[in-house]
Amino acid sequence: MIFNNYHQLKDIKFDLIIVGSGPAGISLALELEGQKISTLIIEAGKNNFSEESQKFYEGEIIGDNYPPLSVTRLRQFGGSSGHWGGLCRSLEEHDFSNWPIKKKDLDQFSDKAKKIINLRRNNFYTKKINENYDLVRFEVSPLRFRDKYRDKIKNSKNIHLITESYVTKILGNKKINKVIFFNKGQFFNLSSKYFVLACGGIENSKLMHLIRKNNPKLLDPNMPIGNYFFEHPYKKIGEAIIDIENFKNFLKKTKLHNSIKINCDGWFAVAPNKQFVNYHNILDSVMQINFVYTDLNIHKKSFVEKLKCIAPEYVRKILIKNNNKAMTLGITAQTSQKIDFNNKVELSKSKKDSLGIEQVNLFWKQSEMVRETYKKNIQELGKFFIDEDIGRVAAEEKIYSSETLDHDGGGHHMGGTRVGINSYDSVVDKNLKVHGVDNLFLAGSSVFASAGYSNPTFTIVQLSLRLGMHLKEKILYTKK
């Protein structure tokens, strides 16, 4: 059932309140749907995009260049899945080295997660390319959670959704008793047995800060709320021209010809393996390599023209062979980040939104290791292309300069309320329960303790399904 007005649902009793209707909140609600568990999702935004709503996402960035916080996420039903790229891949085994759970604890939810996200292929495979590189398969889903799940939620007896309801306070003494939210010009409150914050990678930290501020005795004052935030630094690091014939021969030789198709819309992903990463002391990363077809008869000012100056003989040879046409590659890298206590989400001391709630400050720096990772990746790729006579690679000049590097991504907000064993260095336990509070849980990438190079949403959905299983047991047990 979907409402946008408090009075329509004020008499309903809820077992669980989920704050936020993005992929994390919706997946959790779906997991509990068939269980006679009455769930309410409280969503701040409207059904569709609105600039007025986005304003509540404004905040300050302190540190390296980072896109504005009001454009890197969507405050509407379905959350940021309204503009995500849909790239999915599960985390690797070693990405869990500092988590209290392991990859196998999430893998049991993979099939269900794929169904929820509309991923038709059933493999995130890894294939060896050579001693340094693996071909890693991402899957892509064009899914908008709002479009797929709106009718399901509308027709559900157990899932209730209220939109245009901004949760501003969560109150409790030993455990959480109620949430206070702003709807249609007034503040209201609602109660439930259990509460889950699924407000996205930055707002989860913000709400946890607000909970600590409004309930001084509820949370450990030293719990690192907002700390250990991290991203996936993302940047174009180079371009290449390939000799199609030689490239095809290489793919045949390495039996990768069914996995990489050379066409102008195609792309593939290459990740340096763990041995390479450890040996060079760089970060885990992946290069997304996309084919670009260039016809020099039409595209005069192309990268190929630039490359003609750098490797004139080689480029001329290829152009003659292909009638002035060339297949080039755009190479973009996505890296992990060194986990840093000082990368953090805090409440602003001076800026408030129009309801008087503190905006966030995001403190974020990339570290020089990101630049080193970009450099090492492109150098090694260049060497590999020459050794195999596949083509020639040109690096982006900026990564060799001393300029601060831009971050061309900005939508993967991870950490801030990370998972761990105790409240000294984490915020939630292995069941995603906030340390010290029996009925408060967190869902979403804010709980990640680290994340390698894979995009976060597949793991977010797996985690929500696991949380759903846990809450199901708890809620049904208390109903007996």
Candidates 224, 226, 233, 411; binder of ligand FAD (CB under 6 A) is 411
CA dist 305 → 51, 318, 392 (Å)? 42, 13, 13
Rounded CA-CA distance 183/166 in Å is 7
Residue closer to ligand FAD (CB basis): 26 or 318: 26
Q: Is position 148 an interface residue for ligand FAD (rule: CB under 6 A)?
A: no
Six-digit token pair at 287? 């290069």
Q: Is the Cβ of residue 25 or residue 238 nearer to ligand FAD in the bound state?
A: 25
What is the CB-side half-sphere exposure of residue 134 using CA atoms within 13 A?
18
Our finding on whether 61 is near ligand FAD (CB under 6 A) is no
Least distance from ligand FAD to the Cβ atom of residue 67, Å: 9
Task: State the minimum distance, in angstroms, from the CB of residue 422 to ligand FAD.
Answer: 24
Q: Rounded distance, CA 104 to CA 397, Å?
A: 41
412-431 positions binding ligand FAD, by CB under 6 A: 412
Per CB under 6 A, the list member of 31, 43, 64, 396 interacting with ligand FAD is 43
The answer to the question of residue 72 lying near ligand FAD (CB under 6 A) is yes
Smallest separation (angstroms) from ligand FAD to the CB of 245: 33
Sign of CA dihedral 343, 59, 356, 83: negative
Among positions 6, 21, 208, 285, the unique one binding ligand FAD when judged by CB under 6 A? 21
- The amino acid at residue 390 is I
Which one among 172, 272, 452, 456 touches ligand FAD, defined by CB under 6 A? 456
Kindly state the smallest distance separating residue 73's Cβ from ligand FAD, in Å. 5
Q: What is the DSSP string of 27-96?
A: HHHHHHGGGT--EEEE-SSBSS--HHHHGGG-EEEEES----TTTSS--BTTGGGGT---EE-PPPGGGG
Nearer to ligand FAD, 86 or 100 (CB): 86
Residue 46 touching ligand FAD (CB under 6 A): no
Contact partners, residue 229, CB within 8 Å, separation at least 6: 201, 202, 205, 343, 344, 345, 362, 363, 364, 413, 414, 415, 416
Cβ atoms < 10 Å from Cβ of 36: 12
Which residue, 456 or 468, is less far from ligand FAD as judged by CB? 456
Residue 392 touches ligand FAD, criterion: CB under 6 A:
no
Nearest to 459 by CA among 148, 201, 152: 201
Using CB under 6 A, pick the residue from 377, 445, 450, 462 that binds ligand FAD.
445
Asked if residue 101 binds ligand FAD (CB under 6 A), the reply is no
Told to check if 235 binds ligand FAD by CB under 6 A, we report no
Least distance between ligand FAD and beta carbon 203 (Å): 4
3-state secondary structure (DSSP) of residue 444: coil
Q: Which residues pair with 194 in a beta bridge?
A: 16
Place of tokens 């084919």: 291
Residue 343 C-beta: closest distance to ligand FAD, Å: 17
Cα separation values, 327 from 237, 244, 288, 291, Å: 18, 7, 16, 7
Stretch of 5-13, 70-78, 94-102, 317-325 contacting ligand FAD, by CB under 6 A: 70-78
Strands (E), 98-212: 126-128, 133-136, 139-140, 159-162, 165-172, 176-183, 186-191, 194-197
CA distance 121 to 139: 7
Q: How many residues bind ligand FAD (CB under 6 A)?
A: 39
**453 touches ligand FAD (CB under 6 A):** no
Q: Which member of 2, 17, 44, 218 binds ligand FAD (CB under 6 A)?
A: 44
CA distance linking residue 202 with residue 456, whole number of Å: 14
Q: Which of 63, 86, 100, 382 binds ligand FAD (CB under 6 A)?
A: 86
CB nearer ligand FAD, residue 166 or residue 385? 166
Q: Which of 38, 39, 54, 80 binds ligand FAD (CB under 6 A)?
A: 80
Q: Give me the residue label for tokens 């907002």.
A: 226
Binding ligand FAD by CB under 6 A: which of 66, 99, 149, 166?
A: 166
List beta partners, residue 419.
428
What tokens appear for 204 in the block? 């989860």
Looking only at residues 174 through 233 of this chain, which bind ligand FAD when binding is defined by CB under 6 A?
Answer: 198-200, 203, 207
- Find the binder of ligand FAD among 16, 20, 172, 211 (CB under 6 A): 20
Which C-beta is closer to ligand FAD: that of 89 or that of 371?
A: 89
Judged by CB under 6 A, the chain residues 259 through 318 that form the site for ligand FAD are none
| Among positions 24, 286, 318, 427, the unique one binding ligand FAD when judged by CB under 6 A | 24
Classify residue 289 by its DSSP letter: E
Which residues are at the interface with ligand FAD (CB under 6 A)?
Answer: 19-25, 42-45, 72-73, 75-76, 79-81, 83-88, 166-167, 198-200, 203, 207, 411-412, 444-445, 455-457, 460
